[in-house]
Amino acid sequence: MPRRVIVTAEAAALIGRLKQQHGPLIFHQSGGCCEGTAPMCFRQRDFRIGQHDVLLGVIEGCPFYVGEAAFRYWAYIELTIGVVTGGSDSFSLEVADGARFVTRSRLFDDAEAAVLDAAEPLPRGPQALATMTSGGC
Amino acid sequence: MPDDQTRTFVWNAAGQRERYDNFIGGKWVAPVKGRYFADSSPINGKILAEVARSSAEDVELALDAAHAARDSWGRTPPAERARMLNKIADRIEENLELLAHTETIDNGKPIRETRAADIPLGADHFRYFAGCIRAEEGTLAELDNDTVAYHFKEPMGVVGQIIPWNFPFLMAAWKMAPALAAGNCVVIKPASDTPLSLAVLMDLVADVLPPGVVNVVNGHGSEVGAPLASSPRIAKIAFTGETTTGRQIMQYASENLIPMTLELGGKSPNIFFADVMDADDAFLDKALEGFALFAFNKGEVCTCPSRALIEESIFDRFMEKAVARVARIKLGNPLDPSTMMGAQASHGQIEKILDYINVGRQEGANCVIGGERAHLGGELEDGFYVKPTVFVGHNKMRIFQEEIFGPVLSVTRFKTLDEAIEIGNDTLYGLGAGVWSRNGTTAYRVGREIKAGRVWTNCYHMYPAHAAFGGYKQSGFGRETHKIILDHYQQTKNLLVSYSPKAMGFF
């Protein structure tokens, strides 16, 4: 099953450090303005997930959600979460340490898309956290 | 000041410090934890100044100062507050070059724009609200012979404001001017990558306002913005920034039951009807500039006209001229007054833009100009430059739906007026739109159907005070740059007064 969201080694290391510093984390990517259209990383307790947020995947044990309206356009995109130094200011936790998560996109090929089409729909809402199998964040 | 305008620049001229703390209670106060971060220029990556990396403790100090000044400022007569706002405007105008230079160096936007737009518009904003507050009145109604309802406007008290990095100075003016006019004390957090123009301003106006009326806390969103927005000591929070954070701000505000105004993103359509090509005249020339305005402020504008919808019958002819216009956009050192487009604001931003250019190609959009990083060489090689880019595709592509926040335009075509409206509205956002037509009825009908708060009609990227600005849908709510914003910074007090000496008869 192709994974919809994956991380670079550098991003994985950064997530590990942020987890140690802040506790369980959550990622959400939206579509707008300034520092938007890039993944936002918050403490899980600081961001409320709604019924219209889709659990795209799990990275380093942390849930990665996107808004349902945005997800419509991402159905066949593989997101790779990477890191750069020096992003613009944002509420995302890594910014205070001089880093910024960034997204790189790849369109799934026809074979991958077919597998995804046949799969179960993605879970939605905070209850989807209970379906995460690869250990808590 | 630049010793050679086209090559190097010098920070630390008169009016620019090497280190900025927080501006609290009328003076500069070091951050409690003593931490600083380096603020650098996107023009060439060089460090400009050390800035306070504040934390929740500094937010508390700022709130202390704001609350100490609150009652006195709230009782200051409107004419007196207006006089001070006008004085702030005077100081801005007297120091235009200093502020324009600071803004250009910190954000990367061209000095042409900071001199002609950002700084003068900022000054004007203080003047506009100085005027509004003097003309403001409450109301009264005689309900019956013995009962009168008096409606008074009162300040909310202490308000929190969080502003973005794309128009650091202007966004500070948009937020501060109405809040101060309405008699509130402010705790404002500029973006950590663009703190300098507001800091320079505070040095210029430190003697104008009573201490504690404006407090600036520098630092990062998660360390300063979050404690400010979730503080029970503010009566209101105002935020301009991205969508997910807008949700988080609303969640924080809900904890304390405070009102907020939010200005979030956009994917604004610029709609060109066939009649714009009826003549090869000044208006067509203006429309072509309108097309190219996706490059204004290097595309880092919430209202960037990042989609162009062109009527089918003129598509090829219009695009030929329009792309030629884009080809003339001069990219370069933002300090060069002939530069039209400067550096993107940060490494993170340019990475995002380049990913979207890649996405556009993967989606099958046709890149007709640009589509890559620009290498300007020499001292600018470490700067963040992207060539103005135009794609042709359809409205269901990601590059038509998601905010790229860079100089990337996505172009598509429409056949009928209804289709133009449909495509125009097929977006999560509703901040801006542009409608271009020589036919006033067409322009009016389309403008009224587009679900956006600001519909530029036969123009774009004009931000005069007294024209309301704000979003529909996922672009947020509340309207700025117009006196209606004062309602968001005031309470209405109803004194319901009885002049009757008799009991009601209940008990």
Q: What is the pLDDT of residues A106-137, one digit of tens each?
A: 989 999 999 999 999 999 999 988 877 544 55
Q: How far apart are CA B227 and CA B55, in angstroms?
A: 8
Residue A72 scores a pLDDT above 90: no
Place of tokens 């109405």: B178
Question: In sequence order, which ranges of B278-346 are alpha helices (DSSP H)?
Answer: 282-292, 315-327
Q: How far apart are CA B436 and CA B455, in angstroms?
A: 10
Q: Hey, is B247 helix, strand or coil?
A: helix
The alpha carbon torsion through B493, B496, B499, B501 (nearest 10 deg) reads -130
Q: Which residues pair with A82 in a beta bridge?
A: A102
Q: Which of B191, B248, B251 sits opposite A88 (nearest CB)?
A: B191
Catalytic residue among B132, B185, B302, B304: B302
Percent of residues, chain B, with pLDDT higher than 90: 93
Query: Chain A closest CA to B266's CA: distance in Å?
Result: 6
Q: Is A73 close to B396, i.e. CB distance below 8 A?
A: yes
Tell me, yes or no, if B255 is annotated catalytic.
Answer: no
- Radius of gyration of chain A from its Cα atoms, rounded to whole angstroms: 14
Q: Which residues pair with B19 in a beta bridge?
A: B50
Burial B72-104 (b: 16+ CB within 10 A, else e): ebbebebeebbebbbbbbbbbeebeebbbbbbb
Asked whether B48 and B40 are in contact (CB, 8 A), the reply is: yes
Contacts of A30 in chain B (CB under 8 A): 242-244, 247
Residue B3 scores a pLDDT above 50: no
The mean pLDDT of B463-480, rounded to a whole number, is: 94
Q: What is the pLDDT of residues B48-95, one digit of tens each?
A: 999 999 999 999 999 999 999 999 999 999 999 999 999 999 999 999
Q: What is the pLDDT of residues B407-441, one digit of tens each?
A: 999 999 999 999 999 999 999 999 999 999 999 99
Q: What is the pLDDT of residues A2-38, one digit of tens each?
A: 999 999 999 999 999 999 999 999 999 976 666 667 8
Contacts of A37 in chain B (CB under 8 A): 242, 352, 356, 402-405
- Residue A67 contacts by C-beta under 8 Å, 6 or more apart in sequence? A28, A30, A31, A52, A53, A54, B243
Long-range CB contacts for residues A53-58, cutoff 8 Å, separation at least 24: A53/A28, A53/A124, A53/A125, A54/A122, A54/A123, A54/A124, A55/A122, A55/A123, A55/A124, A55/A128, A55/A129, A55/A131, A55/A132, A56/A4, A56/A5, A56/A122, A57/A3, A57/A4, A57/A5, A57/A6, A58/A132, A58/A134
Q: Is B346 close to A100, i.e. CB distance below 8 A?
A: yes
Q: What Cα–Cα distance (Å) separates residue B11 from each residue in A7, B52, B349, B455?
A: 39, 18, 23, 39
Q: Is B403 close to A36, i.e. CB distance below 8 A?
A: yes
Total residue count of chain A as it appears in this document: 137
* Burial label, B375 (beta-carbon count in 10 A; 0-12, 13-18, 19+): exposed
Q: How far apart are CA B209 and CA B301, in angstroms?
A: 31
Amino acid symbol at B164: P
Contacts of B225 in chain A (CB under 8 A): 91
Q: What is the pLDDT of residues A45-55, one digit of tens each?
A: 999 999 999 99
pLDDT confidence bin for B348, thresholds 50/70/90: confident
Phi, psi of B498 (to 5 degrees): -105, 130
Phi, psi of B120 (to 5 degrees): -60, -40
Q: Which of B423, B449, B438 is nearest to B273 (CA)?
A: B438
Q: Is A105 close to B352, i.e. CB distance below 8 A?
A: no
Q: Is B362 close to A89, i.e. CB distance below 8 A?
A: no
Q: Which of B494, B495, B471, B487 is nearest to B259 (CA)?
A: B487
Supply the ipTM of this predicted assembly.
Answer: 0.92
The overall longest dimension of chain B from CA atoms, in Å, is 87
Q: Which of B51, B245, B252, B404 to mutate to test the interface with A (most CBs of A within 10 A)?
A: B245
Chain CA centroid to CA A11, Å: 11
Asked whether B352 and B300 are in contact (CB, 8 A), the reply is: no
Q: What is the pLDDT of residues B97-153, one digit of tens each?
A: 999 999 999 999 999 999 999 999 999 999 999 999 999 999 999 999 999 999 999
